[in-house]
Structure 1
Amino acid sequence: MEKEAKKEAFRKYLESSGVLDALTKALVALYEENNRPSSATEFIQQKLGGPSIAEYEKLRAEKSDLQIKYEQLLHAHRSTREELEELKRRGEPLLPATEGDAWRGHSSQEP
């Protein structure tokens, strides 16, 4: 009996959240399609608003590339912070001295 109540609660959840309606519409669209798609799963995914398999794979590759770039930037950031802390510790100037510093009101001795 408890199992039936659990099933009924889940069915109500699916209905109230709009899942049953969305799935029904996607299945009806597939049924009414004159030219059956080669991938019914991909057709339903597209009808539900999800990316196609090709789009999904492209996004996964892009995510992987971005993760690599993030790791590289994070490493560079950490290295730069360590270098900055070392320069501060030694009391060295943090900005390189240039000819333009004088007119900006900076001297080559200021950090």
Structure 2
Amino acid sequence: MADSFFERCYSIVRQIPAGRVASYGQIARILGEPRRARYVGFAMHSSPGVMGGVPCHRVVFKDGRLAPGFAFGGPGAQRSLLESEGVGFLPDGRVDMNRYLWEAAL
């Protein structure tokens, strides 16, 4: 079941366009599993990453914080990847969610 859930997560995350971010909870809600945001985090940590076609760096906490345990180089790497796509940050280091949140068509 975890593999199926993870693959469903990856399918949604592949749809997030460059320059946009989604929250763990947002992905869970899109999947119809609103209480499984933490599992989305597990899926992102286990993903093949950008090189494997899953832009997991585009998934952040709902308040715009980056993942402290970003599996592909830590939060500095996650921030660099997001900045390279044009994502802007607030002075406190969080993603500006009002501007860069992906508005998925459900």
Q: Which has the higher contact order (CA 8 A, sep 6+)?
A: 2
Q: Normalising by structure 2, what TM-score?
A: 0.24
Largest Rg, 1 or 2: 1
More helix, by proportion: 1
Q: TM-score, normalised by structure 1?
A: 0.24
